[in-house]
């Protein structure tokens, strides 16, 4: 086997080993470069030196090529150590970036949650505003309905008042008609009974009629006395004539007949005169009685008409006053109903405003709590970032320490290897010099098989292990962390205080509104009771007036009948 062929085989072995190492260690593409597998997961290379020695012995490779392979393996190990260091740095950087990413993501999630909470709060606020507007609209509609009811009540009251005025006008007209009718009757009575000069004149005329009646009675008595005297005179004259007749009977019969005829004529004349006088007296007496009867009857009818007119006047005003009172009571009830509906509408509107206000206050409390949660999350994220930075910095310091230690150990190993090489080379040169001095051309044991070297020669030195540097967070980060938590505590305490104040204010306002509504309801109930009492009182008063008027009419009728009976006594 030629040297060239052996060299090619050695190169192929080295290349194969490098490829195997790369495949075993693995590579990953990322923004941090190649991240190698951990040392525990990496294939051991210690056995590779023995494999090289076995392959070299089986292939009769020169020591030069074996040394080149071992140097290549050492270079590979060095490259792997450098790669491990880079991987360690990459992992530290990756951990830091992951922590930053997690903190950013946590902060972003907190911001998103805050925005969602604010959106939800705005939605609830707009919903409450909408509910409040709808409550106000409903209250306004109720108020308009109440106003419409009040308007209808006022219209009805005005209609009733108009009807009352119309009835009042009709009653006044009827009263005037009755008054004029009574006036006409009175004028007729005055015209018929000569009552134009008042009751005093009537009394005077009555006295005069009484005196006339006395005089008439006296005249009648005188006439009767005169008639009796005339009758006596006539009888005396008749007797005288009878005596004369008897005395002169003997006178001629013709004279007797004449005297008899004269006597009969005188008797007839005296009887006729007496009848005339008696008829005249009876006529005068009857005329006086009829005149007295007519005066009494006219006076009674006048008094009756006047009393009935006064009574009808009183009775005509009673329904009008009742209708006015009922219209006023209806108007009062309409106002009470309007005030009740307005009170209910105001209560519902103010209650809706109070509920909207407490909802706004609770939303503000919720915003404060969301702000405190966000501040807490931000503080924790910042602290996590500070921890990640501290851990990454500790890993960097550990890596630098390990690299420095490895570099120092590498220099030590190189120095020991070079010293060993110098020793062996010096030994070999000394042996050559001694052989040359002995005029020998063969080196001892040059063709004799050399036993395998110790395993330590083929083993890659262990990577120096260093204690990891403890991560230390800067005091200012700790102070800021605790300060943020103190601010979170203050915001939450403020939110709790705001919530207590809002609930207390809502309870106070609700109780005040309910108490005010109850007071207004009590006032309305009292006013309705007063209206009912007024209506009952008005109706009772109207019934009393009707009964009183009926009694007065009965009294007037009774007096009229009594006066008619008294007038009958003069006939």
pLDDT recorded at residue 416: 84
CB atoms within 10 A of CB 141: 11
Kindly give, in sequence order, each residue whose CB lies less than 8 Å from that of residue 28, ignoring residues fewer than 6 positions away: 34, 35
Between 42 and 16, the higher pLDDT residue: 16
pLDDT recorded at residue 500: 92
62-66, 127-131, 229-233, 421-425: which is most confident: 421-425
Q: Dihedral angle at the C-alpha atoms of 127, 133, 135, 139, nearest 10 degrees?
A: 180
pLDDT recorded at residue 46: 47
Can you read off the two tokens belonging to residue 306? 């006047």
Helices (H) and strands (E) counted in the chain, each on its own, are 7, 0
Between 113 and 511, the higher pLDDT residue: 511
Residue range 564-569: average pLDDT? 65
> pLDDT per residue over 112-170, tens digit each?
777 777 777 777 776 777 777 777 777 777 777 766 766 676 666 667 666 666 666 66
Find the range with the poorest average confidence among 111-115, 245-249, 464-468, 526-530: 245-249
Kindly give, in sequence order, each residue whose CB lies less than 8 Å from that of residue 552, ignoring residues fewer than 6 positions away: 307, 311, 314
Q: Are 556 and 275 in contact (CB under 8 A)?
A: no
pTM of this structure: 0.41
The percent of residues above 90 in pLDDT, for the chain, comes to 2
**DSSP collapsed to 3 states, 480-536:** HHHHHHHHHHHHHHHHHHHHHHHHHHHHHHHHHHHHHHHHHHHHHHHHHHHHHHHHH
**Angstrom distance (rounded) from CA 186 to CA 1:** 179
Residue with tokens 């009182």: 537
pLDDT above 90: residue 41: no
Q: Are 135 and 349 in contact (CB under 8 A)?
A: yes
Sign of CA dihedral 246, 247, 249, 254: negative
The percent of residues above 70 in pLDDT, for the chain, comes to 50
Can you read off the two tokens belonging to residue 203? 């009394």
pLDDT above 90: residue 93: no
194 Ramachandran zone, left/alpha/beta (phi>0; psi -120 to 50): left
Can you read off the two tokens belonging to residue 445? 């044991």
Residue with tokens 């007071």: 519
CATH of domain 146-344: 1.10.287
**Angstrom distance (rounded) from CA 183 to CA 190:** 10
Between 418 and 299, the higher pLDDT residue: 418
**Angstrom distance (rounded) from CA 508 to CA 499:** 14
> pLDDT per residue over 396-453, tens digit each?
888 888 888 888 888 888 888 888 888 878 887 777 778 777 776 666 665 555 555 6
Residue range 3-13: average pLDDT? 57
Residue range 548-561: average pLDDT? 74
Between 50 and 420, the higher pLDDT residue: 420
Residue/partner pairs of 399-407 with CB below 8 Å, 24 or more apart:
399/85, 399/88, 399/89, 399/92, 401/466, 401/469, 402/85, 402/88, 402/463, 402/464, 402/465, 402/466, 403/85, 405/464, 405/466, 406/81, 406/463, 406/464
pLDDT recorded at residue 115: 75
pLDDT recorded at residue 561: 72
**Angstrom distance (rounded) from CA 571 to CA 174:** 37
pLDDT recorded at residue 154: 66
pLDDT recorded at residue 299: 66
pLDDT above 70: residue 339: yes
- What is the per-residue burial (b if ≥16 Cβ within 10 Å, else e) of 335-361? bbbbbbbbbbbbbbbbbbebbbbbbbb
pLDDT recorded at residue 31: 37
Task: Indicate the average pLDDT of the chain.
Answer: 71
**Angstrom distance (rounded) from CA 86 to CA 33:** 8
pLDDT recorded at residue 490: 92
Q: Dihedral angle at the C-alpha atoms of 156, 160, 166, 169, nearest 10 degrees?
A: -140
pLDDT recorded at residue 437: 78
> pLDDT per residue over 524-543, tens digit each?
888 888 888 888 887 888 78
> pLDDT per residue over 484-498, tens digit each?
899 999 999 998 999
Kindly give, in sequence order, each residue whose CB lies less than 8 Å from that of residue 211, ignoring residues fewer than 6 positions away: none
pLDDT recorded at residue 255: 55
Residue range 257-263: average pLDDT? 61
pLDDT recorded at residue 28: 39
**Angstrom distance (rounded) from CA 380 to CA 389:** 14
198 Ramachandran zone, left/alpha/beta (phi>0; psi -120 to 50): left
pLDDT above 80: residue 503: yes
């Amino acid at each position: 086997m030629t040297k060239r062929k052996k060299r090619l085989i050695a190169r192929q072995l080295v290349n194969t080993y490098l490829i195997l190492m790369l495949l075993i260690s693995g590579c990953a593409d990322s923004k941090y470069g190649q991240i190698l597998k951990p040392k525990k997961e990496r294939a051991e290379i210690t056995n590779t030196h023995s494999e090289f020695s076995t392959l070299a012995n089986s292939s009769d490779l020169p020591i030069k090529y074996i040394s080149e392979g071992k140097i290549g393996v050492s270079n590979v190990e060095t490259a792997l150590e450098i790669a491990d260091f880079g991987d360690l740095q990459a992992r530290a950087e990756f951990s830091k970036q992951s922590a930053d990413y997690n903190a950013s993501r946590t902060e972003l999630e907190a911001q998103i949650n805050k925005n969602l909470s604010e959106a939800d709060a705005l939605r609830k606020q707009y919903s409450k505003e909408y509910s409040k507007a709808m409550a106000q609209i409903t209250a306004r509609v109720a108020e308009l309905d109440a106003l419409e009811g009040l308007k209808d009540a006022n219209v009805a009251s005005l209609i009733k008042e108009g009807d009352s005025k119309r009835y009042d006008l009709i009653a006044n007209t009827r009263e005037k008609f009755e008054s004029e009718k009574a006036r006409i009757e009175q004028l007729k009575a005055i015209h018929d009974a000569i009552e134009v000069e008042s009751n005093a004149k009537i009394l005077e005329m009555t006295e005069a009629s009484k005196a006339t009646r006395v005089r008439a009675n006296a005249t009648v008595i005188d006439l009767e006395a005169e008639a009796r005297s005339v009758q006596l005179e006539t009888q005396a004259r008749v007797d005288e004539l009878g005596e004369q007749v008897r005395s002169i009977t003997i006178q001629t019969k013709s004279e007797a007949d004449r005297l008899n005829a004269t006597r009969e004529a005188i008797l007839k004349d005296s009887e006729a005169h007496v009848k005339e006088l008696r008829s005249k007296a009876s006529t005068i007496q009857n005329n006086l009685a009829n005149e007295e009867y007519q005066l009494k009857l006219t006076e009674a009818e006048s008094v009756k008409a006047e009393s009935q007119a006064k009574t009808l006047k009183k009775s005509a005003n009673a329904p009008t006053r009742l209708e006015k009172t009922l219209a006023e009571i209806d108007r009062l009830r309409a106002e009470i109903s309007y005030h009740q509906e307005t009170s209910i509408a105001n209560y519902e509107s103010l209650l809706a405003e109070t509920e909207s206000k407490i909802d706004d206050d609770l939303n503000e409390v919720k915003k404060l709590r969301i702000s405190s949660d966000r501040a807490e999350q931000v503080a924790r994220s910042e602290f996590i970032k500070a921890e990640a930075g501290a851990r990454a910095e500790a890993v960097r310091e550990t890596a630098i320490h390990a690299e420095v230690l490895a570099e120092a150990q590498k220099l030590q190993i190189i120095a020991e290897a070079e010293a060993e090489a110098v020793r062996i080379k010096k030994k070999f040169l000394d042996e050559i010099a001694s052989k040359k001095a002995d005029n020998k051309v063969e080196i001892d044991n040059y063709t004799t098989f050399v036993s395998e070297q110790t395993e330590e020669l083929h083993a890659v030195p262990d990577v120096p292990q260093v204690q990891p540097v403890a991560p230390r967070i800067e005091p200012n980060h700790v102070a800021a962390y605790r300060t943020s938590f103190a601010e979170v505590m203050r915001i939450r305490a403020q939110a709790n205080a705001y919530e207590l104040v809002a609930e207390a204010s809502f309870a106070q306002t609700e109780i005040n509104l309910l108490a005010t509504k109850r007071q207004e309801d009590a006032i309305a109930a009292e006013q309705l009771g007063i209206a009912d009492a007024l209506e009952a009182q008005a109706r009772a008063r109207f019934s009393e007036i009707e009964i009183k008027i009926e009694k007065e009419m009965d009294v007037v009728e009774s007096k009229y009948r009594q006066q008619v009976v008294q007038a009958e006594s003069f006939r």
